[in-house]
């Protein structure tokens, strides 16, 4: 699976362009990165359109570019059914737009529940994994040895915040446990560096950190 990482600038989350037969985007970053990201996507896609724009969760630093990219590059916007309504409604509070000082434009979203496979063509697919904790409708994507982890876990044992609206510590621990049980090689988180190579130990470290916080926090 060919993955182009467009590293988030400022508050903007990372964007991953999965260059499959049916290209898809995982997260979209946010202004002021949109113009820069669009240039990179333009070069990678080289005239092709996106099949889907998958959003790992509702926060504006991940979804703020979705509408602009859909209009420019095509693709259906997909999100978990719990995090989809604030995106469809343009809920400024729940998407963190108010907190970040931005504005979220309502967008059309097809709802996912977790467990489904998103077909990328050529025998490749991404499995949707519901991983609540950072938000109640957070999800990760797993396919061809790659885990796209949104804001659930990060490289080097990092973990997502659970103190924002709909965040939940116990759910985050359970989600990290679920991920630590899965098989993958590479980790592509929503912020910070990706891990190319044996990435499982990074997620196991995230789980240990979370449990430690529970004991002493």
Binding site for Zn ion (CB under 5 A): 59, 151
- What does the alpha-carbon distance between residue 134 and residue 45 come to, in Å, rounded to a whole number? 31
Nearer to Zn ion, 51 or 131 (CB): 131
Least CB distance to Zn ion at residue 191 (A): 8
Nearer to Zn ion, 59 or 130 (CB): 59
Nearer to Zn ion, 23 or 150 (CB): 150
| DSSP code, position 81 | T
Least CB distance to Zn ion at residue 100 (A): 10
- What does the alpha-carbon distance between residue 207 and residue 78 come to, in Å, rounded to a whole number? 27
Which residue's C-beta sits nearest to Zn ion? 59
Least CB distance to Zn ion at residue 18 (A): 20
Nearer to Zn ion, 59 or 80 (CB): 59
CB 121 within 8 Å of CB 160: no
Least CB distance to Zn ion at residue 140 (A): 13
Where are the strands (E) in the chain, listed by range?
Answer: 3-6, 15-18, 24-26, 52-54, 76-80, 110-112, 117-121, 124-130, 139-143, 146-150, 186-189
């Amino acid at each position: 699976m060919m993955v182009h990482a467009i590293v988030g600038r400022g508050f903007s989350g990372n964007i991953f362009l999965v260059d499959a037969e049916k290209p898809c985007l995982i997260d979209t970053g946010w202004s002021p990165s949109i113009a820069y990201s669009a240039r990179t996507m333009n070069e990678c896609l080289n005239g092709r359109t996106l099949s889907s724009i998958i959003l790992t969760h509702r926060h504006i630093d991940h979804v703020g570019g979705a509408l602009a990219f859909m209009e420019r590059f095509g693709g259906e916007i997909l999100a978990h059914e719990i995090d989809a309504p604030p995106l469809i409604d343009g809920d400024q509070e729940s998407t963190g737009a108010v907190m970040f000082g931005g504005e979220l434009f309502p967008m059309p979203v097809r709802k996912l529940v977790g467990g489904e496979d998103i077909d990328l063509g050529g025998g490749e697919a991404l499995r949707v994994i519901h991983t609540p904790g950072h938000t109640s409708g957070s999800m990760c994507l797993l396919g061809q040895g790659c885990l796209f982890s949104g804001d659930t876990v990060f490289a080097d044992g990092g973990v997502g915040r659970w103190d924002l609206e709909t965040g939940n510590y116990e759910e985050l621990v359970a989600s990290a446990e679920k991920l630590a049980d899965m098989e993958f090689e590479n980790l592509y988180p929503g912020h910070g560096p990706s891990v190319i190579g044996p990435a499982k130990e990074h997620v196991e470290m995230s789980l240990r950190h979370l449990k430690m916080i529970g004991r002493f926090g």
